[in-house]
């Protein structure tokens, strides 16, 4: 997928493992392919596994205070959230790598979503319901799991990510899953990389 104008690629990693992470190996592969096709692209990497704050009372109060009315403490409470939103707004292509932990996404990735899903900035409410404001972007999601089959009734990760990205206006989403690795081993990761090569 080459873009006429050099895009910004935003990479989000969420695995608690730095070495030996299958989801990170898949995002490595995706970024390498995308960077080769878009050599002038800027790549922004955000490792949410390093830790993000959770939504708090101060954050909520600041978020629902009009920007021009926020005091210094409220502005400070939203500083990281503003940075994460700006990264997402600037990106033309988003690559998200995630393991499945206990049938869902890691808490660190959920914290990132909570920091970027903001009414009036990344979505808005209308008379007919919420509308995402981050249109015109492409997302790739690489998922690794030990036992959960992606797309099965016990997978609460892929469906949630597809929904929340769509909620923000990102509807062009491709999923690549190296799942049930405890049963299928390294050959599933290799097959997923081949699937990436065929699509990206």
Q: Which residues participate in the annotated binding site?
A: 15, 21-23
Helix (H) or strand (E) holding 142: strand 138-144
Q: Are 113 and 164 in contact (CB under 8 A)?
A: yes
User: Using CA atoms, how far apart are residues 169 and 123, in angstroms rounded to an integer?
Assistant: 8
Binding-site annotation, residues for FMN = 15, 21-23
- CA neighbor of 58 nearest in space, from 34, 74, 47: 74
Q: What is the CA radius of gyration of the chain?
A: 17
C-alpha torsion angle, residues 37, 39, 42, 43 (rounded to 10): 60
């Amino acid at each position: 997928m080459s873009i006429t104008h050099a895009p910004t690629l935003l990479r989000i990693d969420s695995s608690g493992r730095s070495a030996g992470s299958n989801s990170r190996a898949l995002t490595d592969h995706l970024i390498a392919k995308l960077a080769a096709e878009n050599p002038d692209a800027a790549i922004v990497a955000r490792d949410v596994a390093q830790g993000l704050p959770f939504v708090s009372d101060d954050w909520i109060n600041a978020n629902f205070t009009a920007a021009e009315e926020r005091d210094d403490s409220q502005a400070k409470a939203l500083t990281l959230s503003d940075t994460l939103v700006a990264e997402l707004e600037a990106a033309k292509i988003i690559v998200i790598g995630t393991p499945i932990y206990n049938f869902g996404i890691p808490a660190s990735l959920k914290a990132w979503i909570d920091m970027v899903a903001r009414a009036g900035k990344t979505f808005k409410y209308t008379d007919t319901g919420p509308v995402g404001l981050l249109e015109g972007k492409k997302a790739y999601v690489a998922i690794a799991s030990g036992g959960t089959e992606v797309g099965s009734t016990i997978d609460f990760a892929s469906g949630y990510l597809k929904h929340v990205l769509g909620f923000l206006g990102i509807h062009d989403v491709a999923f690549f899953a190296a799942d049930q690795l405890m049963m299928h081993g390294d050959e599933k990761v290799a097959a997923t990389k081949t699937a990436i090569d065929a699509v990206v």
